[in-house]
Amino acid sequence: MSANLSQTPVGLLSQVTKRRGSTQALDGLDLIIRPGQCVALLGPNGAGKSTSVALLTGRLSPDAGQVRLFGGDPRDLATRGRMGVMLQETGLPRTLTVREQVDLFRSYYRQPRSLDETLQLAGLEGLERRRCGALSGGQQRRVQFAIAIAGRPDFLVLDEPTTGMDIDARRGLWSAVRAEIARGAAVLLTTHHLDEAEALADRIVVIDHGRVIADGTPEAIKSQVSAVAIRCRTRLGDADLSSLARVTSVSRDGGRVTLLTTSASATLRELLARDETIDDLTVAGASLEDAVTRLVRAGSPAQRQTEVA
């Protein structure tokens, strides 16, 4: 669903700074989530994603800058009632059954979903009578998702929602999130799974060291690094690979190397000339994962422009 720019933002962080312990967790962060948008907030460990979520959900206050939820104060209970939240660290009481737990949270809302619909949307059919303490990690995540959607939220905040889920459960949750978006809910999603961001989000915001380093559609983010990914097995070391023509980054996954390049033909000519044992070679457009890795490594926007040019 496309965003309506004239409406009050669902969530807003403007020039927000927040110190946590000795760390500057957020350092002038700007983030706007508009009605109907699904925004994926990406970034490496410690980038400031959970801190941003904690501010939007009213669990932390900013040191400076402005945080707004539906145009109001996120600490205001009535405002927060329009939001459904699935956090990383929420524990469930061990003795309540799944049905009792979800029903308890439904009772906090004036016009909740029916219990059966909530359980079905969260993929909890068959587990209703199981005690929460006897659920697997992935099943507990599904109960937390049920709690988040029980009140038909206008804004759904999902902090790493599919951690611990198997492939079927992840896909089930994705289709439930898509149904919420189709109903008109805005979504803020943090995830380390780039396929998840690509499957759900119409906008990607990459943050690092508490600042936004990229913001756009998945396609725009990919094109920002204007790179092609060459993957192969090679006996060349990282220093040799980095020195190949037009290579902008080198990374390894198991025995396979990924080279990002601004000219596949120029890089390939040199690569094949230096290593005739090259194997398992593929050339493809940069994936979202390649692009985000590259943007984070490149550091500040000024450095990024220099490196990509």
Which residues face 157 on adjacent strands? Answer: 85, 188
DSSP 58-98: TSS--SEEEEEETTB-TT-HHHHTTEEEE-SS----SSSBH
> Is there binding between residue 11 and ligand ATP (CB under 6 A)?
no
C-beta nearest to ligand ATP: residue: 21
Site for ligand ATP in 35-74 (CB under 6 A): 43, 45-51
162 binding ligand ATP? (CB under 6 A): no
Residue 23 touching ligand ATP (CB under 6 A) = yes
**Nearer to ligand ATP by C-beta: 47 or 56?**
47
41-56 burial, b at 16+ Cβ within 10 Å, e below that, comes to bbbeeebbbbbbbbbb
Residue whose CB is less far from ligand ATP, 187 or 206 = 206
Q: Is 21 in the site for ligand ATP (CB under 6 A)?
A: yes
20 binds ligand ATP (CB under 6 A): yes
Q: Could you say whether residue 161 binds ligand ATP (CB under 6 A)? A: no
Residue 138 is a binding residue for ligand ATP (CB under 6 A): no
Nearer to ligand ATP by Cβ, of 16 and 98: the residue is 16
Minimum CB separation of residue 283 from ligand ATP in Å reads 31
Place of tokens 């094109």: 223
Q: Which CB sits closer to ligand ATP, 54 or 121?
A: 54
**122 vs 296 by CB, closer to ligand ATP:** 296
Count of residues touching ligand ATP (by CB under 6 A): 12
Instruction: Report how far residue 231's alpha carbon sits from residue 96's, in angstroms, rounded to the nearest whole number.
Output: 50
Q: Produce one character per residue of 3-15: b if its CB has 16 or more CB atoms within 10 Å, e if not.
A: beeeeebbbbbee
Alpha helices by DSSP H, the chain? 49-56, 77-80, 98-106, 115-121, 137-149, 167-183, 194-200, 218-224, 238-242, 264-274, 288-298, 301-308
Choose between 51 and 258: whose C-beta lies nearer to ligand ATP: 51
Q: Which residues bind ligand ATP (CB under 6 A)?
A: 20-21, 23, 25, 43, 45-51
